[in-house]
Amino acid sequence: MPQKQAARLHLLSTREVLAASEGDLADGGGLLLRIRGESATFVYRFTAASARRREMGLGVAHRGSLKQAGDSLAAAREQAYNARELVKRGIDPIDERDGRKQAAQQAERAKKAERRREQMTLARAARSYHERVIEPTRSAKHGANWIASLEHHIPAAVWHAPIASITPPALLAAMSTVRSVEKPGEKIPETLQRMRQRLDAVFEDAIFHGLCATNPAAAIRRKLREAMPRQEAGQLAALPYREAPAFMQRLRAAQGIAARCLEFSILTACRTSESLLATWHEFDLDASLWVIPKERMKAKEEHIVHLSPRAIEILQEQRDLDARYPFPSPMLPGRPMSNMAMLNVLERMGQRAEFDKDGKRLRGTTVHGLCRATFSTWANETAAGRPDVIEACLAHEESNRVRAAYNRAKFNNERRALLEAWAAYLAEPPASSVIPLRAA
C-alpha cells in the first residue's frame, strides 16, 4: 500500500495574506485564513479524539503592511503546530487552552485574595463587623462598649496583624495582657470572656467572607478558662449568703421604688436590666410567672421566671405607680429607673462594694453579685438544687442546644421549687444549711 502523503504546510505567502479577499484560504495542516468583510482571522480546523470536528481561533490577522501580515502568519503557524502536536497526543487543544485560562484566572484570584487577606487586619475586620452587625442592632452605648473593649485591650501587635496570620497561642498571649489594664474592682474573667466572645464573632465572620481559615478565639476558649486563677467567694463582690437574710430584713424596711426593685431582683436572681426594664405585659400574676422576651436576654432566648409569693406581693404593691413599668423612674414619668438606682440603695445601706488598690474586694457587694452570685453560691453550697436547675434559674447560656431545649422544657417544677426555697431562706433562715425542697 502506498504510504499516506504528509499534509502540505505553509501554502500561503505573505502577499497572499495581505491581498486576500472574502472567504477561507488554506495554509495547510488545518490552518485557515478567514476573511469576513473587514475582519481577518486565523483558524485551526481539526478533528478531536471524540471524532468531533472543531475550529480553534488563533487570533487576528493584521494586514496593515507586509511586515504585519508576515508576523501574523508566522505566529498563527506556530500556534497551529502546537495544536497539531496536542491532537496527535489525543488532547483537545481548545479544552487545553481553556484549562490554562481558567488556571491563570484562579491563580490571579488567589493572588488578589491573598493580598486582601494581608491587608485585612484584625482591627479592620472587627470594625467592619461592628459597623455591619453590631451598630444597627444594639444600643449606641452597647455598640461603643463592644468595639472599645477590643480596641483598648488587644495589644497593637495583634490588633493590627493580618487576621489570617493570628494563631491561637498569639491570641491567648494577647488576652493575658488584659490583667494589667483593667481597673481595680472590675472582674477580669468576665471582661476576658466578653472579649473572647466578641472576637469569636469577628473571626467567624472573617471565615465566612474568606479572610481567614481558622477561628483562634474559639480555639482558646478552654485555655483561657484554664489560665484564669480560681476566685475565692469574696472576690466575686457578692454578699455571703449567710448574711443575706439579715440584709433582706433591712431592705424590706427601706422605702422607695429602688429598694423594692432590688428586693424583687434578689428574689428572682435576675440581671439588673431585666428587672429595671420589665413591663407589666410580661407578667402573669395569676400563674406566678414572669416571661422575659428574648430581646432583653443576654443569651437571646426567652426566659421564664417563677415568682415566689413575696415577689408577687411586691408587684401588686407597685401596680398603681405606672401604666407600663413596675419600677418606674420617680423623676421621669413613663420611664424606667436609672441603672444606678439599686446601687444607690446599697450605698445608703452601707453595703456598696469597696476594693483595695489591687482590685480585691474589702467589703460590701455589687447589685449583680448580690442578685445572682449570692443565690448561686447558696444553691450550690447547700445542695438546694441540681446544677442544671441552678443554671436554668440564672438563664446562663447552654452551649449544647439540645440540652438547652431540654432544660427549658423539663426544669419548670424544680426551678419554681428552688426560687421558693430561696425566698423562704431569705425570709426566715433555717437552722440547717440544707434547704429541703418540695417534690417537683
- The domain boundary, picked from 230, 248, 274, lies at 230
Q: Are residues 204 and 284 in the same domain?
A: no
* pLDDT, position 404: 52
Q: What pLDDT score does 187 carry?
A: 47
User: Can you spell out the DSSP letters for 209-224?
Assistant: TTS-S--HHHHTHHHH
Domain's final residue, options 230, 249, 265: 230
> Is the residue at 434 inside a domain?
no
pLDDT at position 258 is 93
363 with 261, same domain: the answer is yes
Residue 1 lies in a domain: no
CATH of residue 188: 1.10.150.130
**Looking at the structure, do residues 297 and 412 belong to the same domain, yes or no?**
yes
Q: Are residues 244 and 351 in the same domain?
A: yes
| Residue whose C-alpha cell is 462598649 | 145
pTM of the model: 0.48
Residues 6+ apart with CB under 8 A from 395: 270, 292, 297, 298, 299, 301, 303
Higher-confidence residue of 140 and 2: namely 140
Shared-domain flag, residues 98 and 223? no
Domain that holds residue 32: 14-107
183 is a domain residue: yes
Confidence category of residue 78, pLDDT binned at 50, 70, 90: very high
Residues 209-243 as b or e (16 or more Cβ within 10 Å = b): eebbeebbbebbbeebeeeeeeeeeebbbbbebee
Is there a domain that residue 270 lies in? yes
Mean pLDDT taken over the chain: 84
Residues 316 and 382 in one domain: yes
Residue 9 falls inside a structural domain: no
Whichever domain contains 362, its CATH number is 1.10.443.10
**Tens digits of residue pLDDT in 5-21:** 456 889 999 999 999 99
DSSP letter at 87?
A: H
> Are 416 and 311 in a shared domain?
yes
Task: Give per-residue pLDDT as tens, 363-397.
Answer: 778 888 889 999 999 999 998 888 888 888 888 76
Asked if the structure places residue 327 within a domain, the reply is yes
Residue 115 falls inside a structural domain: no
Helix (H, G, I), strand (E, B) or coil at 175: helix
pLDDT at 361: 63
Compare 392 and 183 and report the one with higher pLDDT: 392
Q: Is 112 exposed, middle or buried (0-12, 13-18, 19+ CB in 10 A)?
A: exposed
What is d(CA 328, CA 337) in angstroms, rounded to the nearest whole number? Answer: 5
Which CATH number covers residue 27? 3.30.160.390
**DSSP per position, 244-310:** HHHHHHHHHHS-SHHHHHHHHHHHHT--HHHHHT--GGGEETTTTEEEE-GGGSTTSS-EEEEPPHH
How far CA 246 is from CA of 137, 426, 427, in Å, comes to 42, 8, 9
Q: Which three cell numbers stand for residue 188?
A: 477580669
For position 180, what pLDDT does the model report?
A: 39
Would you state the pLDDT for residue 207?
A: 92
Mean pLDDT of 105-110: 81
For position 355, what pLDDT does the model report? Answer: 66
- Of 35-49, 186-200, 283-297, 398-412, which range is least confident? 398-412
Q: Is the pLDDT of residue 412 over 90?
A: no
Same domain? For 402 and 372 the reply is yes
197 shares its domain with 293: no
Average pLDDT over residues 281-305: 89
Return the amino acid letter for 62: H
Look at 103-112, 223-232, 314-323, 380-389 and tell me which has the smallest mean pLDDT. 223-232
Does residue 429 surpass a pLDDT of 50?
Answer: yes
pLDDT top residue among 192 and 287: 287
Asked if the structure places residue 403 within a domain, the reply is yes
102 and 221 belong to one structural domain: no
- Tell me: do 185 and 257 sit in the same domain: no
CA–CA distance, 218 with 351 (Å, rounded to integer): 38
pLDDT of residue 431: 47
Q: Is residue 358 pLDDT above 60, yes or no?
A: no
Residue among 207, 223, 208 at smallest CA distance from 174 = 223
Query: What pLDDT, in 10s, does the model give residues 129-172?
Result: 999 999 988 888 888 889 998 998 899 999 999 998 999 999 99
Angle between helix 412-427 and helix 309-318 axes, rounded to 10 deg: 80
Reported as a pLDDT band with limits 50, 70 and 90, residue 92 is very high
The band of 402, judged by pLDDT with boundaries at 50, 70 and 90, is very low
Cell numbers given for 176: 493575658
Final residue in a domain of this structure, among 230, 264, 282: 230
181 residue type, one letter: V
Confidence of residue 104 (pLDDT cuts 50, 70, 90): confident
pLDDT at 438: 47
Residue 106 binned pLDDT confidence (cut-offs 50, 70, 90): confident
Of these ranges, 242-246, 430-434, 435-439, the one predicted with the greatest mean pLDDT is 242-246
Q: Are 328 and 335 in contact (CB under 8 A)?
A: yes
383 lies in the same domain as 417: yes
**How many domains does the chain divide into?**
3
pLDDT at position 2 over 50: no
